[in-house]
Structure 1
């Protein structure tokens, strides 16, 4: 099966290496295990990312290029004893280009700090840098053990003289849900608690457009970022539980309440939250809110619910309220799958023959919601599957 970046799968380590900046030779791979997975030509192409400028030291970087996905932790040690007054190295792991690598970020950071300690105690990085020197053999032995242990056991214990390091990749979390172009990411964490200046460029560009109502496809358009990159970025945010996914908000949507609603209504925090989704600061009563929410059922669209009991008159912001209820699991969107069973070979009907939900048809076909609704209502050969 074809795999792509953002598919959520975790592959094995392909290699582990220590890159350094040599004061005469420039960027170089000091040690690598297994040997020669990344040759000199490919390393030279990627070296400016793997041995970067000082502004991006002491933080995890990931590079996906030329068939390699590499995560590392560039480390800069200033000291007048070194040529050019500093030592610069990067401990890196190499994965498949489709692999999820976020679980290795603490791993490479800890291993880099381990080598920093070895350098301060025994100058293992700065002295005897030749390929077959005693220090290089020690470094390669450490990398070999880490590589084999992590691929077979998912953990390792590294020792060198008096130094011991326990490493593991245990809490990988559940694999994020597949991110479709029609899905809507909703921020569920306060970004003020994160160092947003350390976010990658794609995250920085798309985050202002994650408003809880823009789909992945629309975010790609608004941010001028390729949609595959947006999908991968959103999947990473899902893994870190910064966002959750909801369906597109349309007044033609059909929702139904779930058994969880009654349980949630007993919680004061939930009741306070739903009352906060008001218009113009007027707090709607719990009775009006409950009455409005209970109107949702199979076969009744949001538009019809709003006609029966106007949320504006009750002071309810139905957009934000529904988004919140879907995230809480109190409302469930009924997905509709139009299926064409006629004989017309018109290309537009291809969207109705492959089991696409209406949200994805809107994104892929360019039809408006009104156009799609008319097509489904007026064509007797289109049947609607609800689930």
Structure 2
């Protein structure tokens, strides 16, 4: 089993088991690690606790209406997820309420723990109904041992197997939760985040195997479909599948006519040493001396709306520095501190000519909703050709405005 130390799964800060006591009300019976959550009878400086149980007790052991549902609540710095359960029967108040909760940092994504919490509640409910395991345990400390193993195993291995009694056990494995990928468009350029060729297996879908051979950070989706000799719809599906598993990302088509501008997150590049080190290695051509980081940062700061990559490169003699312009721009887009400025042509008025030098449906797309990458991918031309078409329209048929955003 692989260690969870380098995993993107959120780390469990604490696990606790709480019940409704007929005399004290909601209370924590066991918690691991001990004394991290303050209770009504806790002593010591409150600053050392994660939070105070009294602040969240009405969500941990809620009224009947919330029992049997996944409940998440938050404190200033932490989030608590649990599945409160109410069982009816021969109990002192005719009901028994319990909850086993996990505590995480407030910003953690808990999607992958939701099925874990639900399953634990199902198994414990079965144990309680069969042998009163929770309300009248034969070994009161058994629950503490279960919490300790949950805390250690899920944090270390993302899975665990815990026997509870002769008929029940907790068999848990955390699977990462992947959100649905964004729609794949014909002009998107897939960029591999891992070495896809080394991951190919004999049982892989044939379309995916053909598609990944042409994923190089340069080819857009429609061109990949052409090169791989695949149906365009199937190619989109293959790229979407790879996006779902987060082994690729998509960027814009790189052209020297593109324009970019900085985002506020450029400060990240300036502050993070590992990003600064990675930048020089990534953007410099093989065999060339890596430019000093202040020089690279200065080059990024000179990218702005109204200036194409070609004009920027000419002004700052980028070629002589040994900088690969495509990789330079891609690094900024990948890291999130560069933003593409798109061109959106709008036709103000027209009197369509009889023999236009452009496709008949080109005019219909000049509504300010379709940018130059989309138009270029659709008609299989670059920006210089699109610019010539727009110039032709402006001269003979109507006024064209281009919005940059």
Q: TM-score, normalised by structure 1?
A: 0.54
In the alignment, the residues of structure 2 paired with residue 281 and residue 272 of structure 1 have an alpha-carbon distance, to the nearest angstrom, of 17
Pairwise CA distance, 1:166: 6.7
Cα distance, 1:345–1:269 mapped onto 2, change above 3 Å:
same
1:200 aligns with 2:205: yes
Q: Does the CA-based 8 Å contact 1:351-1:365 persist in structure 2? A: no
In the alignment, the residues of structure 2 paired with residue 374 and residue 174 of structure 1 have an alpha-carbon distance, to the nearest angstrom, of 41
Pairwise CA distance, 1:198: 3.6
Match of 2:238 in 1: 233
Match of 1:360 in 2: 374
Instruction: Name structure 2 gaps, 5 residues minimum.
Output: 1-111, 113-165, 354-359
Pairwise CA distance, 1:288: 2.2
Pairwise CA distance, 1:169: 10
1:324 aligns with 2:342: no
In the alignment, the residues of structure 2 paired with residue 192 and residue 300 of structure 1 have an alpha-carbon distance, to the nearest angstrom, of 37
Pairwise CA distance, 1:207: 0.6
SS at 1:252's partner residue? coil
Match of 1:386 in 2: 404
In the alignment, the residues of structure 1 paired with residue 172 and residue 236 of structure 2 have an alpha-carbon distance, to the nearest angstrom, of 30
Match of 1:369 in 2: 383
Match of 1:289 in 2: 296
In the alignment, the residues of structure 2 paired with residue 254 and residue 324 of structure 1 have an alpha-carbon distance, to the nearest angstrom, of 15
Equivalent positions of 1:39-54 (< 5 A) are: none
Pairwise CA distance, 1:290: 1.5
Q: Does the CA-based 8 Å contact 1:254-1:302 persist in structure 2? A: yes
Match of 2:277 in 1: 272
SS at 2:213's partner residue? helix
In the alignment, the residues of structure 1 paired with residue 243 and residue 210 of structure 2 have an alpha-carbon distance, to the nearest angstrom, of 17
Pairwise CA distance, 1:320: 1.0
Q: Does the CA-based 8 Å contact 2:187-2:373 persist in structure 1? A: yes
SS at 1:256's partner residue? strand
Q: Does the CA-based 8 Å contact 1:288-1:314 persist in structure 2? A: no
Determine which structure has more spread, i.e. the larger CA radius of gyration: 2
RMSD, matched Cα: 2.7
Deviation track 1:101-139 (CA, whole Å, cap 9, x = no partner) reads: xx9xxxxxxxxxxxxxxxxxxxxxxxxxxxxxxxxxxxx
In the alignment, the residues of structure 2 paired with residue 295 and residue 367 of structure 1 have an alpha-carbon distance, to the nearest angstrom, of 28
Cα distance, 1:195–1:374 mapped onto 2, change above 3 Å:
closer
Match of 1:36 in 2: none
Cα distance, 1:169–1:337 mapped onto 2, change above 3 Å:
farther
Pairwise CA distance, 1:170: 7.8
Match of 1:218 in 2: 223
Cα distance, 1:268–1:198 mapped onto 2, change above 3 Å:
farther
Deviation track 1:156-201 (CA, whole Å, cap 9, x = no partner) reads: xxxxx96879799985422211110000000012336635334211
SS at 1:197's partner residue? coil
Match of 2:309 in 1: 302
In the alignment, the residues of structure 1 paired with residue 185 and residue 403 of structure 2 have an alpha-carbon distance, to the nearest angstrom, of 20
Cα distance, 1:228–1:354 mapped onto 2, change above 3 Å:
farther
In the alignment, the residues of structure 1 paired with residue 381 and residue 274 of structure 2 have an alpha-carbon distance, to the nearest angstrom, of 40
Pairwise CA distance, 1:303: 1.2
Match of 1:338 in 2: 345
SS at 1:185's partner residue? strand
Report which stretch shifted further, 285-294 or 368-377: 368-377
Pairwise CA distance, 1:386: 2.0
Q: Does the CA-based 8 Å contact 2:190-2:215 persist in structure 1? A: yes
Pairwise CA distance, 1:375: 3.1
Cα distance, 1:356–1:194 mapped onto 2, change above 3 Å:
same
Pairwise CA distance, 1:218: 0.3
- What is the aligned residue count? 229
Match of 1:254 in 2: 259
